[in-house]
Copies of this chain bind each other. A is one copy, B any other.
């Protein structure tokens, strides 16, 4: 009977992951309130009632996804901050990776959109609001640290490093929203144009 236990656990975990994936897609594209629990269940291919064996409520799915989304973003931010490289290289690397990921990963775009949906509405579950309150500043702080280091090394322009970090993230975020909401978006801009905002010296090799 211990064998069945294991199998059940595995099924349970897989099912939960299916629900999460489907809910992420729908929440990101439609928003929390416009997404019906029946649609998520239908998307997964399970009965509506069954979904409640995995999550106690629609809100809880949302909170779970928000928590996950914030953690992923924070982890990536801290990775960049703690890289072995110059500040200049970190900024260029981060922008290049972010833009590439926005372009190629549907799931990453959805994650950005989910966070946008959540931060842009006061009508989300209180738990989700608290998570955002706690965790949303970490990427800003990480990049601000890099900017300050860049100022010391002479590669980054003068100004409040936190302000530069805000410009960094709001620009990336704006792009992410733009590209995830247009099918006809075309290709991504060159990441070096964004980098040009923050760096004192030339970022383009041949041209300019």
Contacts and interface: CB of A to CB of B under 8 A. Distances in A.
Count of identical protomers in the assembly: 2
A122 B159 CA distance: 39
Contact of A157 (B34, B173, B208): B208
A171 B119 CA distance: 17
A181 B33 contact: no
Contacts of A177: 116, 119-120, 170, 173-174
Contacts of A198: 193
B123 A31 contact: yes
B207 A158 contact: yes
Interface stretch (A15-23, A49-57, A67-75, A160-168): A160-168
A166 B193 contact: no
A190 interface: yes
Interface string A5-37: 000000000000000000000000111111100
Nearest to A207: B158
Interface string A93-127: 00000000000000000000100110111110000
Contacts of A171: 167, 170-171, 174
27 contacts: A29-B122, A30-B123, A31-B31, A31-B121, A33-B34, A34-B123, A35-B123, A113-B120, A116-B177, A117-B120, A120-B181, A157-B193, A157-B196, A157-B204, A157-B208, A158-B207, A159-B193, A163-B190, A166-B175, A169-B174, A170-B175, A170-B177, A172-B174, A174-B177, A193-B197, A193-B198, A194-B197
Interface residues of A, number: 43
Given A116-B177, A120-B117, A208 B200 contact: yes
A83 to B, nearest CB: 24
A33 B113 CA distance: 17
A107 B32 CA distance: 25
Contacts of A193: 157, 159, 164, 167, 197-198
A178 interface: yes
